[in-house]
Amino acid sequence: MNWFDRLLDWFSGFTDQWEKNGVKFTLYTMVAILIGGIFELIPPFFLSKTAEPISGIKPYNALELAGRDIYQKEGCSNCHTQMIRPFKWEVDRFDPQASYGKDGYSKAGEFIYDHPFLWGSKRTGPDLAHESQIQPSASWHKTHLMNPRDTAKGSIMPSYPWLFEESAKLDPIQITEHMRGLKKVGVPYTDADINSVSSLTLGKTEGDALIAYLLKLGKDSAALSKGLQ
């Protein structure tokens, strides 16, 4: 009998003892899982920051922030990711103009002011992390939202014409309260930013806000990359 067979016999005898004590084995397994869970879950509560902001990344202004709320409300993140994976073919696909340099994948510091972040994992539609550089036309986005088939033949995306109706006008008070709440959790909004809500959102619809948000995605990162070049 070789050493491996002897080791296997020893291990079989060891496991036989545990199999004969099913209740004890179950309890010990639960304790091991709880201990492992504690070491996984507790440390992050003592971290003040898990990501550092990238220089040049600015918080959403009032209109963009309102658009982000609409993006979440309409479930856009169910079909669109906002994360470029760190693979060359992926970067090439979503950075055709090379606006983000050789490292054109998504980084945590770009989303430091997102609460919650919207990276996502399912792509029924294309990724939108670089939308400001891929499709910078506000009129195109409006046409697309009104009826996606007008800009993308065969698209299964729903139409959102009601976002541009009179009944979809933005509520400045709600946006102001949202910005104040975000300021409390660390987003560096100034009093001037909060006071600008009315002027930025006056007469604007939810559709206008959503377009502003889409045109913000990847804008600061591209400007930073072009500045470094």
Is the bond preceding 116 in cis, omega lying within 30 degrees of 0? yes
Average pLDDT, the chain: 91
- Residue 47 is predicted with a pLDDT of 67
- Residue 179 is predicted with a pLDDT of 97
Q: Interhelix angle for 62-73 vs 206-214, to 10°? A: 100
Residues whose CB is less than 8 angstroms from the CB of residue 40 and which lie 6 or more positions away in sequence, other chains included: none
Lowest mean per-residue pLDDT among 40-44, 78-82, 178-182, 185-189 = 40-44
The residue among 136, 131, 127 whose CA lies nearest residue 85 is 127
Q: Which of 1-10, 85-94, 208-217 has the highest mean pLDDT?
A: 208-217
pLDDT in tens, 95-154: 988 899 888 999 989 999 999 989 988 899 999 999 999 999 999 999 999 999 999 999
pLDDT reading at 227 higher than 90: no
Residues whose CB is less than 8 angstroms from the CB of residue 91 and which lie 6 or more positions away in sequence, other chains included: 84, 100, 103, 104, 105
The residue among 183, 168, 198, 172 whose CA lies nearest residue 70 is 168
pLDDT reading at 203 higher than 90: yes
- Residue 4 is predicted with a pLDDT of 79
R_g (Cα) of the chain, nearest Å = 25
pLDDT reading at 187 higher than 70: yes
- Residue 229 is predicted with a pLDDT of 60
pLDDT in tens, 61-111: 999 999 999 999 999 999 999 999 999 999 999 998 889 988 899 998 999
Q: What is the C-alpha to C-alpha distance for residues 79 and 76, in angstroms, rounded to an integer?
A: 6
Q: Tokens standing for 152? A: 């993308």
- For CA atoms 200, 201, 202, 205, the dihedral sign is positive
Q: Interhelix angle for 206-214 vs 138-146, to 10°? A: 130
For 169, which DSSP code? Answer: B
